């Protein structure tokens, strides 16, 4: 019985590791292909398409999902010709979270109280900013879905 339980735990860890590898690869592919996808579609159309992607066969819990995303984003930040802006990071986060059964909200806004026009994109999950801190006060100009 103890040996069987150990084998089950080992299999479960292997499933999580494989699912993390798939999530990591998914983010890399999303980030590499996102400029072309965005050029071919509106932001709204792209977000609807990203929501409609196939669901992961092995949805990850939060901690391994965040770990896979963080590793992939670090790799992408060093890839030539892969934009590393808040827009592309947020689109990939939205797609990954949707594929893993979450209900993210993609948000774009303008910085409040400045004469310069400065925009930002981010993802919210359960009402909280996901993936990177949001240190400034922004006026929301677009969100998908409109209400979280």
Q: What global pTM score does this model have?
A: 0.91
How high does pLDDT run on average in the chain? 93
DSSP for the chain reads -HHHHHHHHHHHHHHHHHHHHHHHHHHHHHHHHHHHHHHTS-HHHHHHHHHTSPPPSSPPPHHHHHHHHHHHHHHHTTSTT---SHHHHHHHHHHHHHHTT---EEEEEEETT-SS--EEEEEEETTEEESS---S-EEEEEEESS--
Q: Using CA of residue 76, residue 16, residue 97, residue 22, what is the dihedral sign?
A: positive
Cα gap 124→55, rounded to integer Å: 19
Percent over 90 (pLDDT), the chain: 80
| Tokens linked to 79 | 């890839």
Cα gap 145→148, rounded to integer Å: 6
Q: For position 148, what pLDDT does the model report?
A: 56
Contact criterion met (CB below 8 Å) for 31 and 92:
yes
Contact criterion met (CB below 8 Å) for 105 and 145:
yes
Q: For position 55, what pLDDT does the model report?
A: 93
Residue pLDDT, tens place only, 23-43: 999 999 999 999 999 999 999
Q: For position 5, what pLDDT does the model report?
A: 82
Contact criterion met (CB below 8 Å) for 26 and 18:
no
Tell me which residues of the chain have a pLDDT lower than 70.
Answer: 148
Q: For position 136, what pLDDT does the model report?
A: 78
């Amino acid at each position: 019985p103890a040996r069987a339980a150990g084998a089950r735990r080992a299999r479960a860890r292997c499933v999580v590791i494989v699912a993390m590898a798939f999530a990591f690869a998914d983010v890399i592919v999303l980030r590499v292909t996102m400029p072309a996808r965005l050029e071919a579609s509106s932001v709204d159309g792209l977000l609807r398409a990203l929501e409609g992607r196939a669901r992961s066969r092995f949805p990850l819990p939060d901690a391994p999902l965040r770990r896979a995303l963080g590793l992939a984003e670090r790799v992408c930040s060093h890839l030539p010709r892969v934009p590393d802006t808040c827009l592309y990071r947020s689109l990939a986060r939205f797609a990954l979270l949707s594929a893993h059964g979450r209900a993210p909200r993609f948000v774009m806004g303008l910085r409040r109280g400045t004469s310069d026009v400065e925009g930002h994109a981010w993802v919210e999950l359960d009402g909280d900013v996901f993936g990177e801190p949001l240190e400034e006060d922004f006026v929301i100009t677009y969100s998908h879905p409109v209400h979280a």
